[in-house]
Amino acid sequence: MKKKYRWNPGWLFIIPALIAFILFKYYPILSGIAISFFKYKIMSPPGTFIGLDNYIRAFKDPYVLNALKNNLEFWFIMLLINFWVPLVLAIMVNEVKKYKGLIRTLYYIPAIIPSVVVTVLWKYIWQPDYGLANFFMDKVHLPHQLWLNSIPLVKWCMRFPYLFIFAGLTAGMDFIIYLASLNNVSKEMYESAQLDGAGFWSKLCHLTLPTIRPTISMLLITDTIAIFNLFDEPKIMTGGGPAKSTETLVLYAFDKAYTSGEYSYAITITTIAFLIVFLLTVVQMKIQDKANK
């Protein structure tokens, strides 16, 4: 006997959001990927079909490879240093009995400061004429440096604000999420482990970290997405210079779209960035699935 379908009124709440999601998320993504196969013209879209020419050009473009290298450098810095700062702090604060709420608030407060403001402040620090960096160079009787105009120096000058922004601003939210996840770990499990003679490190490695592994995985994915969306910091600090040495993939795509008018090539670059993040996410989720088995 055929089962009779019953209409679920819950769809009335889901359908409007689903339509908006398709129109404003999936449609732009899919249409953007389609445009990357054309030589797009605003006056007569979609232009001439050129197949994979834009992708072949991108993989041969030294500026794309340099921008990708810059994104990967920031990603490795995040993996090695910044990603673990909020986790370590959350574990430490979770052990505190008093003033936990105050510590949580104090660490989160910098997260409300816009990254643009911090980047502008760092730009003034590196200014050759009136910047704080050259002020201290004067104090120790060293010559002034053109911090943002020298390719060897500008890379390091970009890393300082990035470290500050991620560790002080972005990591504030990660810290709160980690702390909430740690609070959900069963107290009975801790008590049982303590009765069995487990010390702090034993509980951390065999109980705490395995329990919050899904949270670590989720934040690693979101932080990776943030790295490949870096735009404000290099745009404000250097504009991608000198000689495009500090450009990221998104900034280079912006330059190609709004300076050169090469819209399809710009979309190709952002599609490549999307595919890289997608692959990294898939790998991370596979690792997470294996760890959970």
pLDDT tier for residue 4 given thresholds of 50, 70 and 90: low
CB 37 within 8 A of CB 49: yes
* pLDDT of 60 strictly over 80: yes
Mean pLDDT of 196-209: 78
Burial label, 57 (beta-carbon count in 10 A; 0-12, 13-18, 19+): middle
Considering the entire predicted model, what is its pTM? 0.83
Residue boundaries of the structural domains of the chain: 52-292
What's residue 246's pLDDT? 86
Which residue has tokens 């072949």?
A: 56
Which residue has tokens 């991608």?
A: 240
From 40-54, 59-73, 214-228, 255-269, the region with the lowest mean pLDDT: 40-54
Largest CA distance in the chain: 92
Which residue has tokens 């604060």?
A: 93
Supply 175's token pair. 């810290």
Residue, of 115 and 15, whose pLDDT is higher: 15
- At 34, is the secondary structure helix, strand, or coil? helix
Q: What is the pLDDT of residues 106-132, one digit of tens each?
A: 877 777 777 788 888 888 888 888 888
Mean pLDDT of 165-183: 77
Mean pLDDT score of the chain, rounded to an integer?
82
Residue 48 phi, psi (nearest 5) = -95, 135
What's residue 128's pLDDT? 83
The single-letter DSSP state of residue 106 is: H
* pLDDT of 169 strictly over 80: no
CB 165 within 8 A of CB 236: no
* pLDDT of 165 strictly over 70: no
* pLDDT of 2 strictly over 70: no
- Domain 52-292, CATH number (from 1.10.3720.10, 1.10.10.1100, 3.90.79.10, 3.20.20.30): 1.10.3720.10
The single-letter DSSP state of residue 3 is: P
Supply 5's token pair. 């379908």
Chain centroid offset of residue 58 CA: 22
Supply 173's token pair. 């939210």
Residue 39 phi, psi (nearest 5) = -90, 90
